[in-house]
Structure 1
Amino acid sequence: MVAIIPHASFIAADLVQKTKGSQIPSKQGHKVNMRTHRVDLKDEAREIERVYPNFVQIVILLGTFYYGIERLQPWSTDATGTSYKKIFVNAFVVGLIMIGVISIKYWQHGSRTLPKFDTVYSFYLPFMISLLFDTPSTVTNTILILSVLNSYKWDVQLLVIFLQFSLVYFNFETGDRLGNIIGVIINSLLSSILKHIGQLKSLDNIDSNLFSILLTNILYFSEANSIHFRILKGIILALMTTIATSYILKKILYVKPFMLSILFAVGLPVFTKRFIHLVDGQDPLLWLVGYIVESTTRQKILFAWFSILLLSVPSVLIEKDSLSLNTSRKVWHFIIFLLIVPSFQIDSNFVKIALSGTIPVFLSVEYIRFQNLPPLGSVIELQLRRFADARDHSGPLIISYLYLLFGISIPLLVNNSPMGLIGLGIGDSLASIIGKRYGQIRWRGTQKTIEGTLAFTITSLIVCLILLHFDKAIVFSHLTALQLLCVCTLSGVLEGNSVLNDNILIPAFMMICEKLCTL
């Protein structure tokens, strides 16, 4: 009996211990739970860091979008008779379609089909720029935005084109429908060509869509009649025609590269003369020579440009090896700022004409490099690769210098604004240099630093205030110092939290904010 009782007590105690163990974790189980909890917390922290930059961008974009709605009043009508209600209703429908198509693909194939966050810019930038600077074209450009969904399979592409045609039908009268349908087709073709050339690496889906909308407006929709726009449109048409002719000859007749070089050198001037329409049918080259000769100011500007380039280009190339890649790239930003800002204050029309001619020239340089046309193709390849970044190396195109040119040119050509020059030539350059060398505090979820953002904001603001104070022309005369501070601060924070190419985003966003301040 005595032997049995202790044994029974032991069993009872063991049962109690097991029962308690099922309710209260043991020491070992507690450690496991703590490790699991720490892993969960780390996962949550990583998720917050991943989402945080997107949250900041959404707040800024929605804030500026809402401000535009408040100032424009959706129920009002602008001076050209365009209904803002129609514009915003169409934008709402397009936004719902984009969300719907993305949701269907997600439901069918999971998260791997979700587009990048930067897809929001494929809606925001074309819509806001059209709304603020070319209001009558806003409905059309909003419909074109749907082409960004064409990165999916052919059935989705057909669906998107059908939806675009349907929106054209409901938004336009009979006489305007055919023209807008042709515009949709042109934009789809241009977007597909850009995706094919860039292999969705040099130019991703968002870049291809943004540039296709820009080209469609330049080549087809825009009714601007200024001399610089006619030059830009004519040379781009000439360039595209020359490239298309060369492509056909290369594929069908197997023309050698040397003959393609000759064709390009001869064809581009011939087609340029054909597509640029000046008053009284003047020859474009003779007109340009006369335009420069008649003004000593323009001659001095040209002399200053050539002098700066002759001194700076060899110096940068010689010192390239002693500078970091980032610093050597930003030096070009400073040089372009020095070239254009003083000249624009003296003769803005001449600068805009020069930029309109420079854009196709740079596109021609990239075509020669891309096709390796003798004798310059290999030389251009060697020099440009020295300043190429990771994205330039990821695909067949070197696009950084083209983005830089587009970024500084578009605000000047569209709104007579040097915001692109200030944002890229000063703000972005110093933000990158200071952020990399002295930055310690990073924006959550990014590699960019708050010190870099402060450098962007402060230096951009200082240059804006200098122009506001000393410039005798109209640059920034319509803005207050407080408004300039808001523009520079918002742009700096957006730059610090975004991954979209700065040369596209920053000039466009600063131009939009500048315009919003004047509504």
Structure 2
Amino acid sequence: MVAIVPHVSFTTANSAQKTKGSQIPPEEIRKINMRALKVNLREGSRGFECFFSNFIQIFILLGTFCYGFKRLQPWSSDGIDTSYKQIFVNVLVVGLIMISVVFIKYWQHGRGSLPKFDTVYSLYLPFMISLLFDTPSTVINTILILSVLDSYEWDTQLIVVILQFCLVFFNFESDDREKNIVSIIINSLLSLILKYIGQLKSLDNIDSNLFSIILTNILYLSEADSIQFRILRGIIIALITVISINYMLNKIMHVKPFILSIFFAVGLPAFTSIFIQLEGDRNPLFWLVEYILESATRQKILFAWSSILMLSIPSILIEKDSLSLNTSRKLWHFIIFLLIVPSFQIDSNFVKIALSGTIPVFLSIEYIRFQNLPPLGSVVEKHLRRFADARDHSGPLIISYLYLLIGISTPLLMNNSPMGLIGLGIGDSLASIIGKKYGRIRWRGTQKTIEGTFAFIITSYVVCLILFYFDRAVIFNHLTALQLLGVCTLSGVLEGNSVLNDNILIPAFMMICEKLFTL
């Protein structure tokens, strides 16, 4: 028996010896050992399944990374840009630092100290997005990635910050060091605040790190000057300012919630008009009204959006009880796809401006719900909870709808691409519905099905082809039909094997693949 299950049998034998005159019959001991063997086999099977799904993810991520490396040729004398050499050396150093810290902690504390596999995305996504869409900020964004290691004890956090300062010193001239040191401080503070708010449940360490890097770029690092970016940055700064003041009023002066509601309602528009910088110091609200009124097309788009929302929102709320949670959530994906894709073909700038303003509005809605500010807090809580999933219920924040909005907006704002809409509105939605209803064969290590993955690939590719051949805005004119199939296939397989939130992973990865094929 000891030879079959060494650890379990040894424990059983010791227990029998410690029990003087034990009357446990040999047959019972055999059954106990067999049950323990089955448990160990199941654990070993789960370990293999997780290894299988992780291997597929690593294969896809490493493959796209190597493809970008090959196309950019950082060590070639004929390379596109000599700065690519510095970028790839820096990401190699950061990757080695992360591996070293993880290994040291594993050596000291054992397997329980290992970070989640999804930590690889905290390195991959910021690096690849910066590399492909904002190359000058890639080095500092790669350095900011190290903040994901601050989930360890304070001594490790201190070492991480020192390493970040050292990397800034070696990578930048004296004129740029001060700016990038400030960005490290801002990113660290934002990450701590997000962890505090999300309690590492609604937002885990990886989510907090990714969003802190995004916010650091929006608020401080990015030099983009488009009107939609100025609107987005201005409203977010105004929102952070009002929330900070409300927090101090509540903690220090113990102001009543109703007063906080009034200040929020008055302060947000007031600060927005201050922080959004337009030509001629124009008032943002007056500018927006004029911008809409000067074009009949924009008025028609706005009317169409209002009509669809006024019809769909009550209908979904009424039929919610007769629909499964998954189906009712995916309906919103379809609705957003129908709202944005046709409008983006007609007036892309207006859609991007609308999205830039909508993101802070939804953040404001979540703040009102989170703080239960009267009179809307309880109403918002009641309706949003009806569509909340397990992740939303696990912590204080309801984040699914925020993830959805950020996911579909990012490719549109950064790359004029509807990939996020196609991936989430069509591919992911049908993959989830078909997978749950007809799926039989599961990807090892996940609850997702291969049938769902095929549904993702086929439906998203069909929609891409429709836009490819009939779109008046010439979307995807830089890609071939075969390349579009490659984007959909890689994204579908990655989605099927990953447990990272689909609303973030799918749009970001599809945008990365789309850009890689154009290098």
Q: Structure 2-normalised TM-score?
A: 0.92
Q: Give 1:107 shift.
A: 1.1
Aligned twin of 2:349: 349
Please identify runs of 4+ aligned residues in structure 1 that moved more than 4 A: 29-43, 76-82
Per the TM alignment, residue 76 of structure 1 is displaced from its structure 2 partner at its CA by 5.2
The total of aligned residue pairs comes to 493
Q: Check if 1:151 corresponds to 2:142.
A: no
Q: Is the 8 A contact 1:434 1:452 kept in 2?
A: yes
Q: Which has the larger radius of gyration?
A: 1
CA distance in 2, matches of 1:279, 1:32: 78
For 2:168 and 2:103, the matched residues in 1 are separated by 24
Q: 1:11 corresponds to which residue?
A: none
SS for the counterpart of 1:121 is helix
Q: Is contact 1:273-1:284 (8 Å) kept?
A: yes
* Distance (whole Å) between structure 2 residues aligned to residue 78 and residue 407 of structure 1: 36
* Corresponding residue for residue 308 of structure 1: 308
Does structure 1 residue 169 correspond to structure 2 residue 183? no
In the alignment, residue 398 of structure 1 is paired with which amino acid?
Answer: I
Q: Distance in 2 between matches of 1:412 and 1:260?
A: 35
CA distance in 2, matches of 1:245, 1:412: 32
**Between 372-381 and 440-449, the greater mean CA deviation after superposition:** 440-449
- How far 1:104 moved relative to its partner? 1.0
What residue is the counterpart of 1:48 in the other structure? Answer: 48
Quote the offset at 1:129 in angstroms: 0.2
2:199·2:395 contact (CA, 8 Å) conserved in 1? yes
Letter in 2 for 1:352: K
Trace 1:24-35 onto structure 2 (pairs within 5 A): none
Counting only pairs closer than 5 Å after superposition, residues 108-123 of structure 1 correspond to structure 2 as 108-123=108-123
* Cα offsets for 1:230-274 (capped at 9, x unmatched): 000000000000000100111111110000000000100110000
Structure 2: unaligned runs, 5 residues or longer: 1-28
Q: Aligned ranges for residues 439-450 of structure 1 at < 5 Å?
A: 439-450=439-450
Tell me: CA distance 1:77–1:128, structure 2 relative to 1, closer, same or farther (3 Å). Answer: farther
CA contact (8 A) 1:80 1:136 kept: no
Alpha-carbon distance, 1:113 to partner: 1.1
Match of 1:323 in 2: 323
Taking the aligned partners of 2:398 and 2:35, their CA distance within structure 1 comes to: 47
Q: 2:210 is matched with which residue?
A: 210
User: What's the counterpart of residue 484 of structure 1?
Assistant: 484
The answer to whether structure 1 residue 238 and structure 2 residue 238 are counterparts is yes
The 2-side partners of 1:40 and 1:459 are apart by: 40
Change over 3 Å in CA distance of 1:470–1:154 after alignment to 2: same
1:292 aligns with 2:292: yes
Q: Per-residue CA shift, 1:77-103, capped at 9, x if unaligned?
A: 999966111000000000011011111
Tell me which residue corresponds to 1:506.
506
2:73–2:79 CA contact under 8 A, matched in 1: no
Amino acid in the other structure paired with 1:302? L
Map Cα deviations across residues 27-66 of structure 1 (whole Å, 9 max, x no partner).
xx99999999877655543321121110110000000000
Which residue in the other structure is 1:269 paired with? 269
**Could you give the per-residue CA deviations for residues 416-459 of structure 1, whole angstroms, max 9, x where no partner exists?**
00000000000000000000000011111211000000000000
Cα separation, 1, equivalents of 2:508 and 2:378: 33
Whole-angstrom distance in 2 between the partners of 1:164 and 1:66: 25
8 Å CA contact retained: 1:76, 1:84: no
Query: 2:115 matched to 1:130?
Result: no
Where do residues 361-380 of structure 1 align in structure 2 (5 Å cutoff)?
361-380=361-380
Q: Which amino acid aligns with 2:409?
A: S
Aligned to 2:95: 95
Letter in 1 for 2:493: V
Distance 1:492 1:360, change over 3 A: same
Provide the C-alpha distance between the structure 2 equivalents of 1:222 and 1:415, rounded to a whole number of angstroms: 15
Q: 1:79 to 1:405 in 2, by over 3 A?
A: farther
CA distance in 1, matches of 2:484, 2:138: 26
CA shift, 1:112, in A, is 1.1
Report the 3-state secondary structure (helix = DSSP H, G, I; strand = E; otherwise coil) of the residue aligned with 1:51. helix
Does the CA contact (< 8 Å) of 1:407 and 1:503 recur in 2?
yes
Which range moves more in the overlay, 69-78 or 205-214? 69-78
Matched AA of 1:153 = E
**Letter of the aligned partner of 1:509 in structure 2?**
F
Letter in 2 for 1:119: T
Matched, 1:516 2:503: no
- In 1, the alpha carbon distance for the partners of 2:30 and 2:74 equals 59
Give the letter for the 2:463 counterpart: V
Instruction: State the match for 2:23 in structure 1.
Output: none
Q: Is the 8 A contact 1:460 1:488 kept in 2?
A: yes
Shift of 1:466: 0.1
List alignment gaps of at least 5 residues for structure 1: 1-28
Bigger mean CA deviation after superposition, 369-378 or 471-480: 471-480
Give the letter for the 2:329 counterpart.
R
Name the % identity.
78
Maintained 8 Å contact 2:91/2:142:
yes
Structure 1 match to 2:15: none
Report the alpha carbon displacement of residue 474 of structure 1 after superposing the two structures with TM: 3.0
Change (3 A) 1:322 1:234: same
Decide whether aligned partners of structure 1 residues 33 and 251 sit closer, same or farther in structure 2, where only a CA change above 3 A counts: closer
Judged with a 3 Å threshold, the aligned counterparts in structure 2 of structure 1 residues 256 and 37 are, in CA distance, closer, same or farther, namely closer
Structure 1's 389 and 197: CA in aligned 2 closer, same or farther, altered over 3 A?
A: same
Distance in 2 (CA, whole Å) between partners of 1:46 and 1:336 is: 37
Residues 105-137 of structure 1, C-alpha deviations (whole Å, 9 max, x = no match): 111111111100000000000000000001110
- Judge conservation of contact 1:77–1:83 (CA < 8 Å) in 2: no
Aligned residue identity for 2:475:
V
Check the 8 A contact 2:74/2:81 in 1, yes or no: no
* Residue in 1 that maps onto 2:386: 386
1:380-419 residue CA offsets vs partner (Å, 9 max, x unmatched): 0000000000000000000000000000000000000000
**Partners in 2 of 1:78 and 1:266 — Cα distance?**
57
Q: Letter of the aligned partner of 1:98 in structure 2?
A: M
Alpha-carbon distance change, 319 to 33 in structure 1, aligned in 2, over 3 angstroms:
closer
* Cα distance change on mapping 1:347 and 1:182 into 2, 3 Å: same
Which amino acid in structure 2 is aligned with residue 251 of structure 1?
A: K
In 1, the alpha carbon distance for the partners of 2:122 and 2:77 equals 26
Which residue identity lines up with residue 97 of structure 2 in the other structure? I
- Measured in 1, the distance between the counterparts of 2:481 and 2:503 equals 25
2:455 & 2:137 partners in 1: Cα distance?
37
Q: Assess if the C-alpha contact under 8 Å between 2:369 and 2:381 holds in 1.
A: yes
Residue 340 (structure 1) aligns with: 340
Partner letter of residue 262 of structure 1? I
CA contact (8 A) 1:76 1:83 kept: no
Q: 1:135 to 1:80 in 2, by over 3 A?
A: farther
Query: For 2:312 and 2:300, how far apart are their aligned partners in 1?
Result: 18
